[in-house]
């Protein structure tokens, strides 16, 4: 599974969950909860890997997820320092907090990003 933000409403996740529950019920297994928890753990692990991959590295995020480029640059690129020093200077503390909330967006749903 490619690391990606947690999305419990993603159709892929929902389909896997529904199929797994149906399969377990067909087997007559009584460990439905354990298997569902394992599937949820896989998605949480993917969100953790997403966060750790891009933590402290907005340039990598922009390179691999170009759809986020404008948002990341507008929010976290210190344009004054970048112009002064000739290299991109990022506000990493704020970026990392935003990235964490992006990775676990379903948990933070309704909170301002």
Q: pLDDT, tens digit, for every residue of 19-29? A: 878 877 777 76
User: Does 1 reside within a domain?
Assistant: no
pLDDT at 51: 97
Binned at pLDDT 50, 70 and 90, residue 113 comes out as very low
Total domains, the chain:
1
* Within-domain flag for 113: no
Coarse DSSP helix, strand, coil percentages of the chain, rounded to the nearest 5 percent: 70, 0, 30
87: left (phi over 0), alpha (psi -120 to 50) or beta: beta
The answer to whether the beta carbons of residues 55 and 96 sit under 8 Å apart is: yes
* Interval 70-84: pLDDT, tens: 999 999 999 999 999
Give the range of the structural domain holding residue 55, as residue numbers without chain letter: 11-103
With 90 as the cut, is the pLDDT of residue 63 above it? yes
């Amino acid at each position: 599974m490619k690391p990606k933000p947690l999305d419990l409403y993603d159709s892929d996740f929902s389909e896997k969950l529904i199929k797994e529950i149906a399969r377990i019920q067909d087997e007559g297994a009584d460990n439905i909860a354990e298997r569902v928890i394992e599937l949820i753990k896989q998605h949480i692990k993917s969100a953790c890997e997403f966060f750790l991959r891009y933590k402290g590295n907005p340039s990598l995020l922009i390179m691999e997820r170009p759809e986020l480029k404008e948002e990341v640059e507008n929010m976290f690129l210190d344009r004054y320092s970048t112009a002064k020093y000739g290299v991109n200077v990022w506000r990493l503390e704020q970026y990392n907090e935003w990235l964490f909330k992006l990775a676990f967006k379903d948990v933070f749903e309704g909170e301002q990003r």
